[in-house]
Structure 1
Amino acid sequence: MNNARIDHTASVLPNGKILVTGGCNGSLLNSAELYDPATQTWTLTGSMKNARSLHTASILPNGKVLVTGGLYVSQTESCDVSRESFTILDKISNVQNNSKVAVLTNRKVFVDGEDIGMNTINSVELYDPLTGIWTTAGSMNFARGGHTASVLPNGKVLVIGGLYVWSLQSAELYDPSTDIWTNTSLLNYPRLFHQTIVLSNGKVLVAGGIFDVTVGTCELYDPSTDIWNTTSAFNYRRVYNALVELSDGKALIAGGRYINFLTSSELYDPKTETWTYTSQMNQSRAWHIASLLTDGKVLVTGGFSDTLNDVLNSSELYDPLKKMWTTTDSMKTARLGHTASVLTNGNVLVTGGYGKDEIYLDSAEMYVVSTETLITIGKMEDIGNDHKELCIQQCDIKK
């Protein structure tokens, strides 16, 4: 990549390219870049109007990308890509200046409550892949970071929970046709660091997270009734885990952390609304990434383990038919806070993250499904950073 980054987003566009936005490498980033699998090259595209980390990016039915929220100081900027110039704008009305909040990340890096006075934002932007231009969309009703954003079958975007000085119990819907946000009914529990998937039955499963303590509760949102209902809780509460919907409609949760780092995995059955244990991973890990492959297996990459007290380069495969975990080829670079995007050809692009020796990574790797191997994409370049202390405070995983 052109910029080393952690806590960024990576979205597979309808044309097969990957859009990477924002993140952190000592300071917050507003840059965005595109990866072309056909040429295996990275190119910078138009910059976002706001630097942001801890944000979300959702691909809308019209092919545009909706970017919401994140952490940023209260002042914002506007970027004119054609002139490569920036204009300072007014402060965001929903951001409380000089508020003291725990700097958090997007479910991938543990934060031990370091206060550095950053603020969440309610701003929203739209990226048009055809023009490479970012435009401002309607603002959310609440500033938030550490939330989730899911595209529903009806094309609306559901944003859930997160952080705004405290954990949020609110959720809201974005309608792309009107550019308007509306509040839904309240969740049963405030939460951040939670994970969300849209089930095949159209309901939305929200699992775990943090509210004062690690939350083991789960709930379901029914878009047809606008009602949140509690569902079965985990057998073992956890956070910083991986959650993915399987091809059969069940949900797999793997690893994470509660008191210790976990190897355990559980399956959620929407028909019975219950969690049951499945086989354990070979390595305890948290802040890892899980990707559903086209063959139905699940690839887990990287993370952090207390047994090794270090960032991981190992990878594992879960076979839902055998209900077994097996080790697969290791990444060339240990990383957490990275992204892992399944391409249209079935391979997985792993980008950026936070490596060993407190290094921000600009490297990328490709997991080739046919050979079950990981290969380096482009230059393998670990960039040291003179501004590491800011994100070290944010990402103190060893506490």
Structure 2
Amino acid sequence: MDETYYDVNNNNCSFISQTATSPPPNTAIDNTFGESPCKRARFSNDSNDLHWLNSNVRLILSNDEEMIISRRILSNYSNYFKCLFSSQFNDSKLDFYRIRIVNSTDLHYLLTIPRAFENGIKPELSLQRAIQLIEPAAYLQIDIALDYLTDVICQQLNYNNIIRIFHLSLLYHTHLAFRVWQAILNQFQMLVNSNEYLNLNEDELIFLLTDKNLNIRSQDEKRIVENWRRHHNSLNSANLAKFSLMNFARKVMPDSTKYEVIRNRQPRNAIIAFGGWSSRGVAQKIEIFNTRCDRWQTCTFNYEIPTIKRAYHGNEIVDDKLIIFGGFGGNSHYQTTLLFDLKKKDWKWGKNMHDCRCYVSSVQFKDSQGSTSIFACGGMNGTNRLNTVERYDVEKDMWTECSSMAFHRSDGANTLIGGKVMSVGGFDGRNFHSNAELYDPNTNQWQMLGRGMRTRRTGCSAVTIMDQVCLVVGGFNGSKRLDSAEMYDLREGIWHPMPLMHCGRSNYGISVIDNHIIHVAGGFDGQATTKENERLDLRVRHWQALPDLNEPKSALRLLHLNDHSFLDDLFNIPDDFDLVNEW
């Protein structure tokens, strides 16, 4: 019989990979979500208890392997041993215990994981090894190891392994099962495209179809049910057949405008139309574009909000903050900053800019340290067109003046290209610009771009497509509102013409999704503010007309919000939708 002494002060441990075999009993399923056991462990001050915990215990493990370990370290890291040693049963005082489903290699590794984190070391672990260790970690209730193993597994999920790992996690660790289930909801479209979803059982598929967060295209819902039923025999799909019969297309819903669906679902991403100028002055409605059904809907911020009646303003979402700065309120030109925390759902005033700025353009920049700041360029202070630039540090809530541009620009466009801020187009009070400048945040210097756009543009907008490519759309050239667009490739130094929009417009909102879908909405078409909405798919180089905004507006800002909990508040789709779940 092999015998191993475990030294609690030894941090240098090497292991031989070994697979745990026997499944744990039901009591091995983890249901604890508390703080780290390293913090949670508490010991009595009684000298007898301290002496008892400081003693060693002999563990007889699988294959008759033995380890001699301190009771204190076992109690500190394992809820299983903590309960065993602290109970009032006679077994608590035994000198040895037999644990048949855990081998010495796995136990040695599991006890080393929390020790490594205590010493600032992150253990390296493969997906296969993490899966092997889940069973003994769950059986012994080593929480800090379970948390780490869960992270390792969830970081390496893909459509090939996600369903198998979900079924395994149901046996051992409910927190892992929950996280894998969330990943299945998020990645379900990939499971559909690869037909891996056919490995789900009937109840699992029904639960997925009833979940509002299921990431699935409306046009695929009915096909998924039909394919699953064809793949499985009629006995195994009877409930699914009844469920789909009673729930498909029972009533008119936004998601069912084109296809039969089970229910309305939460979009994974959305576009928010914020602020702007309408026929009645500053726009009051905040609208959100549902990317599942291609429809704008009015949303209400049910929170105590300071005045947000702004047009020609700057708007950015950084981390969990919606940041609004500058703009025009009908009578006043603003230099104020408003911050809305998307998680805490509260507003506060930020520090003022150095200048009042309406017709301002802005862009986000992330430095080498991962800190995000916002550049606000040009604009108008109520009297003069500006060439000044300010940088907003989001963490410090501080505006700092930067080097000024060579040209005064109001209603210009900003974007990020090649790690530098590009300011392009705009109006200086006399001239409409076609030129562009590049700003290097590391040197605080501007330089002119070698070649200007093909067309003079003010009231235009720009988006970054890739690090080296940007797109500038629409605007006003001094004579008419433009329906043209241009793409600039920094590697070539050339502006390329792009397909024409359906509607010439200036001072509209723009947003990009997935680096190839460009949405534009609203603006001024030369006659009036418009509510027309369209998008460009760069893969097919084609503009597609979409349903209109709910009200015409110009000088608005479009913000893209992706996979964020705040989408629940904006769409307000109930979890308990009127589904028929009984048959």
1:369 paired residue number: 538
- What letter corresponds to residue 207 of structure 1 in structure 2? C
Q: After TM superposition, give the deviation of residue 232 of structure 1 in Å.
A: 0.8
Structure 2 residue matching 1:213: 3-state secondary structure: coil
In 2, Cα distance between equivalents of 1:188 and 1:255: 23
In 2, Cα distance between equivalents of 1:311 and 1:257: 14
1:15 paired residue number: 268
Structure 1 residue matching 2:301: 3-state secondary structure: strand
2:364 paired residue number: 198
In 2, Cα distance between equivalents of 1:295 and 1:141: 36
In 2, Cα distance between equivalents of 1:354 and 1:347: 22
Q: 1:351 aligned to 521, 527, 534, which one?
A: 521
2:353 paired residue number: 187
In 2, Cα distance between equivalents of 1:231 and 1:217: 7
Kindly tell me: are residues 14 and 210 of structure 1, through their superposed partners in 2, closer, same or farther at Cα, counting changes over 3 Å?
farther
Identity of aligned residues (%): 22
In 2, Cα distance between equivalents of 1:359 and 1:144: 19
Structure 2 residue matching 1:203: 3-state secondary structure: strand
- What letter corresponds to residue 317 of structure 2 in structure 1? V
Instruction: Note if 1:281 corresponds to 2:281.
Output: no
Kindly tell me: are residues 352 and 200 of structure 1, through their superposed partners in 2, closer, same or farther at Cα, counting changes over 3 Å?
same
1:159 paired residue number: 324
Deviations 1:68-126 (A, max 9, x none): xxxxxxxxxxxxxxxxxxxxxxxxxxxxxxxxxxxxxxxxxxxxxxxxxxxxxxxxxxx
Contact 1:138/1:179 (<8 A) preserved: no
Matches within 5 A, 1:59-70: none
Contact 1:294/1:346 (<8 A) preserved: no
Structure 2 residue matching 1:334: 3-state secondary structure: coil
2:197 paired residue number: none
1:30 paired residue number: 285
Q: Which structure features the higher share of strand residues?
A: 1
Contact 2:499/2:543 (<8 A) preserved: no
In 2, Cα distance between equivalents of 1:178 and 1:329: 42
Q: After TM superposition, give the deviation of residue 160 of structure 1 in Å.
A: 1.9
Q: After TM superposition, give the deviation of residue 304 of structure 1 in Å.
A: 0.8
Q: After TM superposition, give the deviation of residue 255 of structure 1 in Å.
A: 0.7
1:335 paired residue number: 505
- Of structures 1 and 2, the larger Rg is shown by 2
Which structure is higher in RCO with an 8 Å CA cutoff and minimum separation 6? 1
Instruction: Note if 1:241 corresponds to 2:412.
Output: yes
2:575 paired residue number: none
Post-superposition, which runs of at least 4 consecutive aligned residues in structure 1 deviate over 6 A? none
1:227 paired residue number: 398
> What number of residue pairs does the alignment pair up?
282
Deviations 1:306-348 (A, max 9, x none): 2xx1111111111122232122222233222333332337222
Q: After TM superposition, give the deviation of residue 242 of structure 1 in Å.
A: 0.7
Instruction: Note if 1:207 corresponds to 2:377.
Output: yes
In 1, Cα distance between equivalents of 2:442 and 2:420: 9
Q: After TM superposition, give the deviation of residue 235 of structure 1 in Å.
A: 0.8
Q: After TM superposition, give the deviation of residue 168 of structure 1 in Å.
A: 2.9
In 1, Cα distance between equivalents of 2:500 and 2:335: 39
1:299 paired residue number: 471
In 1, Cα distance between equivalents of 2:528 and 2:279: 10
The TM-score with structure 2 as length reference comes to 0.43
Contact 1:19/1:35 (<8 A) preserved: no
Kindly tell me: are residues 298 and 138 of structure 1, through their superposed partners in 2, closer, same or farther at Cα, counting changes over 3 Å?
same
1:113 paired residue number: none
Q: After TM superposition, give the deviation of residue 230 of structure 1 in Å.
A: 1.2
Kindly tell me: are residues 16 and 296 of structure 1, through their superposed partners in 2, closer, same or farther at Cα, counting changes over 3 Å?
farther
- What letter corresponds to residue 242 of structure 1 in structure 2? A
Structure 1 residue matching 2:410: 3-state secondary structure: coil
Contact 2:326/2:357 (<8 A) preserved: yes
Contact 1:186/1:228 (<8 A) preserved: yes
In 2, Cα distance between equivalents of 1:265 and 1:328: 18
Deviations 1:274-311 (A, max 9, x none): 111102000001111212224742111111112xx111
Matches within 5 A, 1:107-186: 134-140=300-306, 145-153=311-319, 155-163=320-328, 165-186=331-352
Structure 2 residue matching 1:354: 3-state secondary structure: coil
In 1, Cα distance between equivalents of 2:486 and 2:500: 9
Structure 2 residue matching 1:191: 3-state secondary structure: coil
In 2, Cα distance between equivalents of 1:143 and 1:378: 26
Structure 2: runs of 5+ lacking an equivalent: 1-265, 556-583
Structure 1 residue matching 2:315: 3-state secondary structure: strand
Q: After TM superposition, give the deviation of residue 150 of structure 1 in Å.
A: 2.3
Q: After TM superposition, give the deviation of residue 349 of structure 1 in Å.
A: 2.6
Matches within 5 A, 1:35-74: 35-36=290-291, 41-42=294-295, 45=297, 47-48=298-299
The worse-fitting range, judged by mean Cα deviation, of 295-304 and 176-185 is: 176-185
Contact 1:145/1:162 (<8 A) preserved: yes
